């Protein structure tokens, strides 16, 4: 049985697009499947300033477009489709889409991740004050007060972006120190629009039509208080988009795909890259590196089949 493709890449974020570029350049027949739009999480990132080669920074959307164009130039093809399930039991891997099954000699999993929700009933306020995307929604909060939740790079960087519009930004963080890189911390401490609420978590929110109050609880004193705010931006980490891989490859206890240094998963011929992988750092730069390695590994695997 012949396979439709040498390589199918699931996900068109920076990791998947780089793997596609390398594989296309190696003259492999490559298909990249993307359920939304190429670019991945960088599409909702206002400005990327830590990717080498762009000393003035670049908007996430523009970077995604450039990576997509760059990959297409080397012959890989993108199709918009959501993978329903996979079957890796045979040497020809099967990928089930809504309307068809496609087959490949090798697969690179690059499904990325999605923002982790608070799970405190905030869903009903999504689009009505609750947001995961400052670059989309910050301008709606001009002159208002907003809450940003989290203490990592994303939370602090986006809280800083919010200060361009909002009059006041409460940064609510569950610990007594930030996890974000030092340069971002210093900018946050120096910004007089940002007030950090330490040792605290968001436990609820209320409002008639949209968010009016965000309830925070101090984890040490257990004291609860409402913050009058019109918006709540949530950046408390990510969840890997690996549900469709249920039982097909080894995942760690948090649902991230387990790989070796060659990006090989527990299944021969199946590789994984980027934010969905069990990696110590989740950046565009690391996803790109993963993608290059995985493409080479896939090429070697096919040559030795």
Residues with catalytic roles: 133, 136-137
The residue assigned the tokens 């959501």 is: 82
For residue 44, CA distances in Å to 68, 186, 237 come to: 16, 24, 14
Which among 233, 239, 14 is positioned nearest to 115, based on CA atoms? Answer: 239
Which among 194, 162, 163 is positioned nearest to 178, based on CA atoms? Answer: 194
Exposed/middle/buried for residue 241 (C-beta within 10 Å: 0-12, 13-18, 19+):
buried
Binding positions for another protein, rule: CB under 8 A: 35-37, 39, 43-45, 59-61, 64, 80, 82, 98, 126-129, 131, 133, 135-137, 139-141, 209-210, 231
Residue 115 or residue 269: which is nearer to another protein going by CB?
115
Closest distance between another protein and the C-beta of residue 162, in Å?
Answer: 13
Residue 129 or residue 289: which is nearer to another protein going by CB?
129
Taking each helix axis from N to C end, the angle separating 284-303 and 14-25, rounded to the nearest 10 degrees, works out to: 40
Closest distance between another protein and the C-beta of residue 4, in Å?
Answer: 22
The residue assigned the tokens 């068809």 is: 100
Q: Could you tell me which residues are beta bridge partners of residue 93?
A: 104
Closest distance between another protein and the C-beta of residue 116, in Å?
Answer: 16
Whether 139 contacts 303, CB under 8 Å: no
Exposed/middle/buried for residue 72 (C-beta within 10 Å: 0-12, 13-18, 19+):
middle
Residue 161 or residue 271: which is nearer to another protein going by CB?
161
Closest distance between another protein and the C-beta of residue 239, in Å?
Answer: 16
Residue 202 or residue 298: which is nearer to another protein going by CB?
202
Closest distance between another protein and the C-beta of residue 6, in Å?
Answer: 26
Residue 51 or residue 61: which is nearer to another protein going by CB?
61
Q: In terms of DSSP H, where are the helices of the chain?
A: 14-25, 60-73, 134-137, 153-162, 182-190, 284-303
């Amino acid at each position: 049985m012949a396979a439709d493709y040498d390589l199918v890449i699931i996900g068109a974020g920076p990791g998947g697009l780089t793997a596609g570029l390398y594989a296309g350049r190696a003259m492999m027949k490559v298909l990249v499947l993307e359920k939304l739009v190429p670019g991945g999480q960088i599409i909702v990132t206002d400005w990327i300033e830590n990717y080498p080669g762009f000393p003035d920074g670049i908007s996430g959307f523009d970077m995604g477009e450039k990576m997509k164009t760059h990959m297409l130039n080397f012959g890989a093809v993108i199709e918009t489709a959501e993978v329903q399930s996979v079957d890796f039991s045979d040497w020809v891997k099967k990928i089930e889409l809504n309307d068809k099954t496609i087959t490949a000699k090798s697969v690179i999993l690059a499904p990325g991740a999605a923002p982790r929700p608070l799970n405190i009933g905030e869903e009903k306020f999504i689009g009505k004050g609750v947001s995961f995307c400052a670059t989309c929604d910050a301008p709606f909060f001009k002159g208002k007060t907003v809450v940003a939740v989290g203490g990592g790079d994303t939370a602090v960087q986006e809280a800083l972006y919010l200060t361009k519009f909002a009059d006041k930004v409460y940064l609510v963080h569950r610990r007594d120190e930030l996890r974000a890189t030092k340069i971002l911390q210093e900018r946050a401490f120096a910004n007089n629009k940002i007030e950090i609420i330490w040792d605290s978590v968001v436990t609820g929110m209320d409002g008639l039509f949209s968010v009016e109050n965000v309830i925070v609880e101090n984890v040490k004193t257990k004291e609860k208080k409402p913050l009058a705010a019109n918006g709540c931006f949530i950046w408390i980490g990510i969840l890997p988009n690996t549900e469709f891989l249920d039982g097909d490859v080894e995942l760690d206890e948090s649902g991230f795909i387990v790989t070796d240094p060659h990006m090989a998963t527990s299944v021969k011929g199946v590789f994984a890259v980027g934010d969905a992988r069990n990696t110590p750092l989740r950046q565009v730069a690391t996803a790109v590196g993963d993608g290059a390695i995985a493409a080479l590994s896939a090429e070697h695997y096919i040559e030795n089949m």
